[in-house]
Amino acid sequence: MITKTRCFLLRMFLAVHAGVSGSAFAALEEVIVTAEKRAESIQDVPISIVAFSNNQLEQLGITDIKGLAAKVPNVFINEFTGSPTSIRLFIRGVGQNDVQVTQDPSVALYMDGVYIGSSVGTAFESADTERIEVLRGPQGTLYGRNATGGAINIVTRQADPERLDLRQTVQFGNLGLFRSTSILNVPVTETIAFKLAYTDYGRDGITDNKGNGDDFGIEDRNTFIGDFHWTVGARGELNHKYERAKIKDSGRLSQALGFDRSQPLANTIVFENQSIDPDGNPVEATDNFLDEATSFDYQEKGDNKIEAHTLNFAWDISDALTFKSITGYRDLNAFTQFAQSPTASLFGALSITNGLTYTDFNQFTQEFQLLGETDSLVWVAGLFYYEDDAEEDISKGNSAGTELLPPGSIVDLTTTKNTSLALYGQATWTPAALDDRWHFTLGARYSDDNRKATRDNNRVSYQLGMDTGVPPFKAKYDKGFGKFNPSVTVDYDLDDFSNAYAKVVSAYKSGGTSQRSTSRINFEEGFDEEDLVSYEIGYKGDLMEGRLRLNAALFYMEYDDYQQSVPTGSNAGERDFVNIEDADIKGLELDVTAAITDKITGILNYGYLNTGFGPSTIRYLALDPASSSGVSTVSEELTEALALAPKHSATMSLDYTHAIALGVFNANVNVQYQGRANSGVTVPTGYLDDRTLVGANLTLSELSLGEKFGQLRVMLWGRNLLDQAYYVGNIRQLQFDQLGFSFGVATFGDPRTYGITLEYEYN
């Protein structure tokens, strides 16, 4: 068997030996991931990867994808402004800067092997997560066109025919937090099992709304999962999962950070709360976090419904060959209120912007994999098919007074139909003639993508309730894209416990069009694909007899035709995409885990990014009713750095575990730091200031209730213990400077939260 397998067995031996000998130091736990489509030690995968076990997720309070924010260096996760359930994922400065049904994410999100194609509705709770894997850097070979930034794998527990398992968890906290998770695993026969899991979660808003409607930042979710497992003969395994989720969160307060009454048209702005601060400004225009505000508009909770099926089948054709089939279907029906400056209005009557968005999205995926292994060769080949249909209707929303028009007079409807077909393969050769220490990996993927969209829009024809003279339009978009993406990796085992690698990886994201376009010409022309090539060297090692784990990666990435959303209409929400000629990203990642003693474990993760654009300005056509042609050329200067790419980010954790008479005592302290970042790439832009969040947990586990009655676990926890106020949403300059909003609009993260978790388990 190849050296990597021997390394895995030796590490396991060290871990067992340390535990048996009762040494003052214990070897670190082995981490198994499926980043390369097969189960492997994380130390044997030549990828900069961070994985969270179920226990780590609980300690850090991660229950949804947003919970990963600031937990992984060089990874940035936030809500799309005004939409609590639309999540933007950025890895190494690469991400989706505008959430639209006509554009794909740049970070691939997978659950149990199935790609999730829409950013809308991704703030779902997972009822029974086994682990989460974060793959940093382009993953164009194995994960496709939507993984230019990287990939995130969510892996849930499968039904298990070998044991009866009952778990009940309840959680209470401030802000009225309550979460209940019930899990029941039932073996039916030696080969068949069912598992049911249900989570009900609710939390009050973080900002009280003294006006009409719901509070800001409410979280209201429930998830049901049904799993079926069947061991088919001696070589087969079938797993089916049904998931149903409902998300009824309300948007966080998008508050004006500053207001300048000296601006010429500032007197047209009316705040519902007319309280005045010492500087003469309404208190609801402030850069301080507001725990209460008075909404001018009626604030509504969203209503997202998700149903999904996953069918995984694996068959060991022989000891060296395995066939896998992964089938997925996902249906999303969502209502969201996008609210910008919801405490203010124009002339005391007209909302500045308060869009009501209705989204229907369904997708189907089918992937076939063939995995093989010999003494010197490990390989995987795959065929991937994806299709989705979507419709997004914001006709009932409003901007700058269109709500004064008769019902039904505004039309803003976009439909899409996308298909993707890909063939990929990757093989790792370990020649025996080189002492089984060199590993050469070649990979390639060919993707063929077709994107179709229609748009019916007359919103741009009306502003402030009046006809602007700009004609409405109906348009169709239909374009295809194809790309070949190769990759090469060389991996060398320095010894049985450490290795170094060098790799070159390419990836691309297909072009498309903009659902916010105000021009038939722009919509039908769309934008081109973007390409990314990454050069990376790395080191992975288990040192000091397995008590110290040191992983490091140094990388340089080149962008070509970076896709950027720019305002081309009469307000910031009317946008198209342009391609910026080039950009580059340099950085490093350092992950250190140390078993300081047999009871204390420390973790330090650090990420550094240095990003920039080649050209200093971009030029594009934007709507201009005053021009004879109806459009004019806009030139905008670019910022020095890419959006949402903080230069420095780090996490630190110290974990103490000690066996006591009652059970096991554990104490954990964790710190997450994220540096200052641009919120956009054009000047002027807003900024997300640096933040340092401190959390802690005290846990008593394995509290026996008797041999026949199971055991308990009790955890006291706290997040953001220093109660730091920090931005999480988009913060940007509005195009209302003449109206007085000269400091932008921002959304804030959660204040200090704390609570208790009780868990009962019987198996």
Q: Are strands 150-156 and 165-173 parallel, antiparallel or unpaired?
A: unpaired
Residue ranges covered by each domain of the chain: 3-762
What's domain 3-762's architecture? Answer: Beta Barrel (2.40)
pLDDT top residue among 466 and 57: 57
- pLDDT at 16 (0 to 100): 36
277 pLDDT higher than 70: no
Q: HSE on the CB side for 290, CA within 13 Å?
A: 26
Pick from 263-272, 497-506, 609-618, 676-685: least confident: 263-272
Extract the tokens encoding 459.
């919103």
7 pLDDT higher than 60: no
3 pLDDT higher than 60: no
DSSP string, 440-469: EEEEEEEEEEEEEEEEEE-GGGEETTEE-S
DSSP label at residue 145: T
463 pLDDT higher than 80: no
Kindly state the average pLDDT of the residues 472-485. Answer: 95
- pLDDT at 80 (0 to 100): 81
18 pLDDT higher than 50: no
Mean pLDDT, rounded, of the chain: 88
Task: Report cis status (omega within 30 of 0) of the bond before 684.
Answer: yes
Contact yes or no for 508/148 (Cβ under 8 A):
yes
Report residue 17's pLDDT band, with 50, 70 and 90 as the boundaries: very low
Contact yes or no for 726/749 (Cβ under 8 A):
yes
413 pLDDT higher than 90: yes
613 pLDDT higher than 70: yes
- pLDDT at 5 (0 to 100): 42
Q: What is the pLDDT of residues 356-388, one digit of tens each?
A: 889 999 999 999 999 999 999 999 999 999 999
125 pLDDT higher than 90: no
Q: What is the pLDDT of residues 62-77, one digit of tens each?
A: 888 888 877 899 999 8
Report residue 8's pLDDT band, with 50, 70 and 90 as the boundaries: very low
DSSP label at residue 532: E
Q: What is the pLDDT of residues 220-273, one digit of tens each?
A: 999 999 999 999 999 999 999 999 999 999 989 888 787 766 776 677 777 777
Residues above pLDDT 90, as percent of the chain: 63
Report residue 285's pLDDT band, with 50, 70 and 90 as the boundaries: confident
* Residue 522: strand, helix, or coil: helix
Kindly state the average pLDDT of the residues 492-511. Answer: 96
Report residue 337's pLDDT band, with 50, 70 and 90 as the boundaries: confident
- pLDDT at 401 (0 to 100): 63
Kindly state the average pLDDT of the residues 151-175. Answer: 95
Pick from 36-40, 197-201, 423-427, 738-742: least confident: 738-742
Q: What is the pLDDT of residues 79-102, one digit of tens each?
A: 887 777 888 899 999 998 888 889
Q: What is the pLDDT of residues 548-564, one digit of tens each?
A: 999 999 999 999 999 98
Pick from 345-354, 467-476, 685-694: least confident: 345-354
- pLDDT at 360 (0 to 100): 96
393 pLDDT higher than 80: yes
Q: How far apart are CA 761 and CA 550, in angstroms?
A: 35
Strand partners, 563: 579
- Kindly report the backbone phi and psi dihedral angles of residue 127, in degrees, each rounded to the nearest multiple of 5, phi listed first: -75, -25
